[in-house]
């Protein structure tokens, strides 16, 4: 019998969906190595491999069989994806064009040598970023530069604004995936994109207010309020939006900060200065990389208190997602302070979920953990923190939790979404 790889779903799936991988037609207890590879849009190769042994009938199902070593060990049905590692040092897997899939190549090799064994079977699978029927609408309205992703159907859908952090541009992949779950999601650029400012020296919240009003007045967006989703500096901006602006019902902050950073934040006649940066506190790790987790001044002491975002003004319901090994800044401390401040002012206590051994860059499921890459502010590679497996599990859980949270608070529904690692 010729060995074959079988994938469920076959041929194509969405990037955030679990993929069933099995092999048939092997010899009983045959040792094999499975290899996965994909190339990003800049041509960088990402690879993972794991050693397995077929069962007594010559079958191998990654949902049941433990990996015996390689890029990961144990029962890890999605290990070949979350354990992908870049060949190029300090390279992060980024999806730039959401119209096209990442193409994953899977190979089964005889024996336990990742590069030596005879090729027994091969499959190619497309991992897409837009579920069937999702629509991509570029937005250039007034000052707003964004891309709106609408689910199939007429709606109206619960609306969400999605923000990334330092580096700017207009990353769309998280918004496009989330639109596949029934939300109208607008990825919003705010600097280093199109005709927007090239830096973040001054952030005017009026720009974000315009974006909120645009989304709320869209005929396919359900009111009365919208949701916000942001990571890192983007999470911190969501906190400022929820504190100063109207029309925001629910916000998910992934590793955000309690205080304003980088540039001045202005809204009407109010200004928050940025937290002070102490570049001399950059530490060098044993791998020669930079750890910036101590560079920001403590916002609850001395003059830096002026940078604190006045969360107590907010009537938004918050979900704070925290990587406990965030090496970019002190996300757990910030989340606890946000929670204390809201409670002290009689506001709704936020839901805080802390993930152990999880770093700064919590992405949608199956994006491989990135140890370190170029940080646009410091101009050098910085570590993000986390351990690959724990970080991967956190990404799957966080993705489910944020969907459940948004469905509950924007849609009035309690739905449970299921995903497997
Ligand atoms: C005040 C101090 C604060 C201290 C605490 C910091 C807390 C952290 C705050 C954060 O916000 S951290 C990270 C969260 N980051 C994001 O959410 C960023 C989202 N944006 C991006 O990922 C990028 O900016 C984006 C891909 C959108 C950039 O796109 P570009 O089209 O501008 O990238 P381009 O291809 O021109 O490459 C720019 C640089 O990135 C590098 N680069 C590009 N793709 C890369 C990749 N895939 N992996 C690693 N590096 C990459 C590239 O080599 C190049 O380096 P050089 O300038 O040295 O040539």
Instruction: Tell how far the Cα of 257 is from the centroid of ligand 1, in angstroms.
Output: 19
Answer positive or negative: Cα dihedral of 9, 14, 18, 19. Answer: positive
Q: Is the dihedral of CA 106, 108, 109, 113 positive or negative?
A: positive
339 is known as an active-site residue: no
Q: Determine the pLDDT at residue 135.
A: 98
Look at residue 414 in the predicted model and tell me its pLDDT: 54
Question: How far is the centre of ligand 1, averaged over its atoms, from the C-alpha of 165 (Å)?
Answer: 9
87: pLDDT strictly greater than 90:
yes
* Per-residue pLDDT reduced to its tens digit, 19-60: 999 999 999 999 999 999 999 999 999 999 999 999 999 999
| pLDDT tens for each residue of 348-400 | 999 999 999 999 999 999 999 999 999 888 888 999 999 999 999 999 999 99
The predicted pLDDT at position 420 comes to: 47
Predicted local confidence at residue 412, as pLDDT: 78
Q: Residue 166: CB within 6 Å of ligand 1?
A: yes
- For helices 233-244 and 205-216, what crossing angle results, to 10°? 80
Ligand 1 neighbourhood includes 95 CB (under 6 angstroms): no
Tens of pLDDT, residue by residue over 107-137, are 999 999 877 799 999 999 999 999 999 999 9
How far is it, in rounded angstroms, from Cα 33 to Cα 55?
Answer: 14
- The mean per-residue pLDDT over the stretch 249-272 comes to 98
Residue 326 appears among annotated catalytic residues: yes
DSSP assignments along 237-248, one per residue: HHHHHHHH-SSE
Q: Cα(162)–Cα(209) distance, rounded to whole angstroms?
A: 14
Q: What is the band of 316 on the pLDDT scale with cuts at 50, 70, 90?
A: very high
Contacts of 73 (CB under 8 A, 6+ apart): 50, 66, 67
Q: pTM (2 decimals)?
A: 0.96
Cβ–ligand 1 distance for 225 under 6 Å, the answer: no
Is the Cβ atom of 307 under 6 angstroms away from ligand 1? no
pLDDT value at 405 more than 90: yes
Give me the mean pLDDT over the 301-316 stretch.
97
328 Cα nearest atom in ligand 1: 7
* Ligand 1 centroid – CA 39 distance (Å): 18
pLDDT (tens digit per residue) in 264-292: 999 999 999 999 999 999 999 999 999 99
The answer to whether the CB of 54 falls within 8 A of the CB of 29 is: yes
Strand partners, 138: 147
pLDDT digits (tens, 9 = 90+) for 214-247: 999 999 999 999 999 999 999 999 999 999 999 9
Q: Pick the residue whose CA is nearest to atom 47 on ligand 1.
A: 92
| pLDDT greater than 70 at residue 415 | no
Does 57 participate in catalysis according to the annotation? no
Residues 180-209: what's their mean pLDDT? Answer: 97
Cα of 17 vs centre of ligand 1, distance in Å, is 26
Residues 6+ apart with CB under 8 A from 95: 15, 40, 41, 102, 129, 171, 172, 173
* Cβ of 292 less than 6 Å from ligand 1: yes
User: Can you say how many angstroms the Cα of residue 92 is from the centroid of all Cα atoms in its chain?
Assistant: 12
Q: How far is the CA of 72 from the centre of ligand 1 (A)?
A: 27
Is the minimum distance from the CB of 262 to ligand 1 under 6 angstroms? yes
Give the DSSP H/E element, type plus range, for residue 154: none
In order, the DSSP letters of 170-199 are: ---HHHHHHHTTT-EEEEE--SSSTTS-SS
Torsion of CA 41, 44, 50, 56, to 10 degrees: 50
Confidence label for 413 from pLDDT (cuts 50, 70 and 90):
low
Instruction: Find the 169 Cα to ligand 1 centroid distance in Å.
Output: 9
Which of 360, 391, 407, 409 is flagged as catalytic?
A: 360
Q: Whose CA is nearest to atom 40 of ligand 1?
A: 374
Taking all residues of the chain, what is their mean pLDDT, rounded to a whole number? 96
Supply the ipTM of this predicted assembly. Answer: 0.94
| Residue 186 clears pLDDT 90, i.e. is over it | yes
Q: Measured from the CB, is residue 98 less than 6 Å from ligand 1?
A: no
């Amino acid at each position: 019998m010729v060995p074959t790889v079988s994938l469920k779903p076959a041929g194509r799936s969405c990037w955030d969906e679990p993929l069933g991988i099995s092999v048939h037609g092997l010899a009983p207890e045959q040792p094999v190595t499975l290899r996965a590879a994909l190339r990003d849009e800049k041509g960088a190769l990402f690879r993972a491999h794991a050693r397995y042994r077929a069962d007594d009938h010559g079958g191998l199902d990654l949902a049941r069989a433990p990996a015996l070593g390689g890029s990961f060990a144990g029962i890890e049905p999605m290990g070949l994806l979350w354990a992908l590692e870049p060949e190029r040092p300090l390279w992060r897997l980024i999806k730039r064009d959401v119209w096209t899939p990442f193409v994953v190549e899977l190979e089964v090799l005889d024996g336990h040598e990742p590069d030596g064994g005879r090729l027994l079977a091969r499959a190619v699978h497309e991992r897409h970023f837009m579920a069937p029927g999702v629509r991509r609408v570029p937005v250039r309205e007034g000052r707003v530069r964004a891309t709106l992703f609408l689910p199939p159907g007429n709606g109206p859908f619960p609306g969400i604004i999605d923000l990334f952090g330092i580096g700017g541009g207009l990353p769309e992949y998280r918004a496009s995936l989330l639109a596949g779950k029934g939300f109208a999601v607008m990825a919003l650029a705010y600097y280093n994109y199109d005709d927007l400012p090239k830096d973040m020296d001054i952030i005017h919240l009026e720009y974000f207010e315009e974006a909120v009003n645009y989304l709320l007045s869209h005929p396919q967006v359900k009111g009365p309020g919208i949701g916000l989703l942001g990571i890192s500096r983007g999470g911190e901006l969501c906190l400022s939006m929820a504190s100063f602006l109207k029309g925001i019902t629910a916000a998910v902050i992934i590793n955000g900060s309690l205080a304003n950073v980088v540039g001045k934040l202005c809204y009407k006649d109010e200004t928050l200065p940025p937290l002070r940066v102490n570049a001399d506190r950059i530490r060098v790790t044993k791998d020669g990389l930079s750890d910036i987790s101590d560079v920001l001044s403590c916002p609850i002491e001395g003059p830096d208190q002026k940078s604190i975002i006045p969360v107590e003004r907010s009537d938004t319901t918050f979900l704070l997602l925290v990587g406990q090994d965030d090496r970019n800044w002190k996300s757990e401390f910030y989340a606890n302070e946000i929670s204390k401040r809201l409670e002290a002012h009689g506001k709704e206590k936020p839901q805080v979920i802390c993930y152990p051994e999880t770093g700064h860059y919590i992405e949608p499921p199956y994006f491989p953990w990135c140890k370190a890459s170029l940080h646009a502010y410091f101009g050098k590679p910085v570590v993000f923190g986390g351990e690959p497996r724990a970080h991967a599990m956190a990404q799957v859980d966080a993705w489910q939790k944020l969907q459940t949270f948004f469905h509950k608070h924007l849609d009035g529904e309690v739905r449970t979404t299921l995903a497997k690692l």
